[in-house]
Amino acid sequence: MYKTPCSRLSGLVGASVKQKLTRCNQSARSLIQLHRRDPSNWLTYQHLNFLKRQYVTKKTSELHQRAIPKQAPLLTIVDERDDSIERQVQRIPTINPAETDTVSQPGDVNSTAQPEISPLEGESGDVKVHAEALSSTVLTPDETPHIQVESEEAREARLDKQWKMLKVEVADLPDVYAKLAKIKLTALVVTTAAAGFAMAPVPFDPLLFFVASLGTGLASCTANSINQYFEVPFDSNMNRTKNRPLVRGQISPLHAVCFALACGVPGVALLTAAVNPLTGFLGALNIFLYTCCYTPLKRLSITNTWVGAFVGAIPPVMGWTAATGCLEPGALLLGGFLYSWQFPHFNALSWNLREDYSRGGYRMMSVTHPGMCKRVALRHSLGLIGLSTLAPVLDVTTWTFPVISLPINLYISFLAFRFYRRGDRNSARKLFFCSLWHLPMLLLLALTCKKSRKDPGDPALPPAPLPLALQS
C-alpha cells in the first residue's frame, strides 16, 4: 500500500514523540527508585542554599566537592557474575591456628578448623560464609587475636592524603584571612596604586596617600575573597590551590562572604567619601570586573586573560585619580604599563601550570592555544619599549627615562623571544622570575625621571634686583 509523504512524516513524528515519552517515563521511575533507596541524597532546599551550596552544575556535567574523610581501603575479593559485574566483599581476616585453642562442637570431627570464605553459587550469586567454621573457633581469655597495628607515622601519612574538615582557632584567623585575601597579590595591587599616586604631577599628601592605599587594599581583598568563594570546587582539583582555606574547610562559605563584605563596603565607601567619587567608582568597577567577568570567563574563553590584564591595569589609574581627581593621559600610560607587563608575567606562569589549569577546567592560552600564548607574551614585552618612549611625549617623564629603561626592557624582550622560540619550562620560568623584578624597577625608574609640572595659578617670580653699581 502506498503511503503519502504526509503520512510518513506523521509516522516519524509519532515515533519520535513516543520514544521521548518512554525515556521520560524511565527517567521518572529511576528518580523515584533513587529517592526510595537513599532519601538522604535527595535534593532538598539546603542543597540549593546560595551560601552553603555543595554542588556546582555546569550545563550537563556535575562536579561534587565534599570535605569529608575518605573511608579506609578494604581488603576485597572479586566475585564475577555474568562476566560483567564485579562485586566487592569485605574479607574476614583469618586466625592463625597456632596462636588459638579451639573448642570442638558436637558432631565435629576435627577441632582445629580455620574460618574460611567459600562462595556458594545460588540463584542470586551472593557470597555466603560458613557459620559453622566461624563458630568453631574460640579464643581463650588470656590470648588476643592477631591485629595489624598501624604506626603513627603511617597513620599521619594516610590522613594527610585525605580531605578533612579543619577546625580553626581564633589565633589562626589572621593567617586564614591573609590566604583568603591573597595577601601577596593585594600587596602588588597596593604598590602599583601607590606608584600611580606618586607619579601624579601634584604635591604629595601623606594622609590622602594612606587613605587611598587602604581603600585600594580593602577592595582587592574583597575581589580575591569572592573569587575563591566561586572557585572552591575547581580549586580542589588543582595542586596549586587545593590548600586554600575554603577548599580545606577551614572557614565556612558564609564566613568568607562576610569577610569580603566587611572589606569591600568600607573600602569603596572610603575611596568615594574620603578621596573622590571617581576613585571610588574605579574601585567598585574593579571588584565587579574581577568577580563577575574575569572569574566566570576563566572557564569559558581565553579572553579571560585580556579581561584580567585590564583589571590589573586599573590600580595605578586609581592612584593617579586619587591624587589629581581627574583622568589624564599619564594615568592611562601607567595603566598601559601594567596591562602589557601582565602578559609575559602570566603567560610564563601559566605555561608551567598547564596540567593544573587543564585539570581544573580553566581555558587558558597555555592550554588551548599554546602558540598564541608565546606570541602574545613576546608582543607585549616589545610593547613595553614603545610605552616607555611614549612617556616623555605625554609629558609624564623626561627623555632620560626611555634611555635608562631600555636595558631592562630589552632583557625581558630577549627572554620572551627565547620563550617564543623554545617553549619549554626553563625559558618560561626565567621569563616569569624576570617579570617579578622588572615591574618594580620600571616604576622606580619612571619615578626618578618624573617631570614636575608647574602650577599655572602660581604667580611668576619677580626678576632679581640688579647690583647698585649697575643701577647707576
Q: What residues does each domain of the chain span?
A: 170-327, 339-453
Give per-residue burial for 358-373: e unless 16+ CB within 10 Å, then b: bebbbbbbbbeeeeeb
Give per-residue burial for 390-403: e unless 16+ CB within 10 Å, then b: ebbeeebbeeebbe
| Model confidence band, residue 210 (pLDDT cutoffs 50, 70, 90) | very high
What pLDDT sits at residue 157?
72
| Model confidence band, residue 134 (pLDDT cutoffs 50, 70, 90) | very low
| Model confidence band, residue 247 (pLDDT cutoffs 50, 70, 90) | confident
What pLDDT sits at residue 400?
93
CATH 1.10.357.140 assigned to domain 170-327? The reply is: yes
Phi, psi dihedral angles at 458 (to 5 degrees): -70, 135
Percent of the chain whose predicted confidence (pLDDT) is above 70: 62
Task: Report whether pLDDT(197) > 70.
Answer: yes
Q: Return left, alpha or beta for 325; rule: phi > 0 is left, psi -120 to 50 is alpha, else beta.
A: left
Residue reference for cell 575547581: 234
Name residue 81's beta-bridge partners.
85
CA–CA distance, 395 with 411 (Å, rounded to integer): 26
Q: For the ranges 98-107, 200-209, 230-239, which has the lowest average pLDDT?
A: 98-107
Q: For the ranges 12-21, 122-131, 247-256, which has the lowest average pLDDT?
A: 122-131
In contact, 282 and 334? CB cutoff 8 Å: no
Task: Report whether pLDDT(194) > 90.
Answer: yes
User: Which range has the top average pLDDT, 45-59, 60-74, 298-312?
Assistant: 298-312
Q: What average pLDDT does the segment 228-245 reach?
A: 85
Q: For the ranges 46-50, 186-190, 272-276, which has the lowest average pLDDT?
A: 46-50
Residue range 253-276, pLDDT digits in tens: 899 999 999 999 999 999 999 999
Q: For the ranges 82-96, 141-155, 358-372, which has the lowest average pLDDT?
A: 82-96
What pLDDT sits at residue 334?
93
pTM of the model: 0.62
Q: Is 309 exposed, middle or buried (0-12, 13-18, 19+ CB in 10 A)?
A: buried
What pLDDT sits at residue 160?
65
Residue range 317-369, pLDDT digits in tens: 999 999 998 888 999 999 999 999 999 999 999 998 888 888 878 888 888 88
What pLDDT sits at residue 34?
56
Percent of the chain whose predicted confidence (pLDDT) is above 90: 39
Of 70 and 376, the one with more pLDDT? 376
Q: What average pLDDT does the segment 433-441 reach?
A: 93
Task: Report whether pLDDT(443) > 90.
Answer: yes
Of 179 and 1, the one with more pLDDT? 179
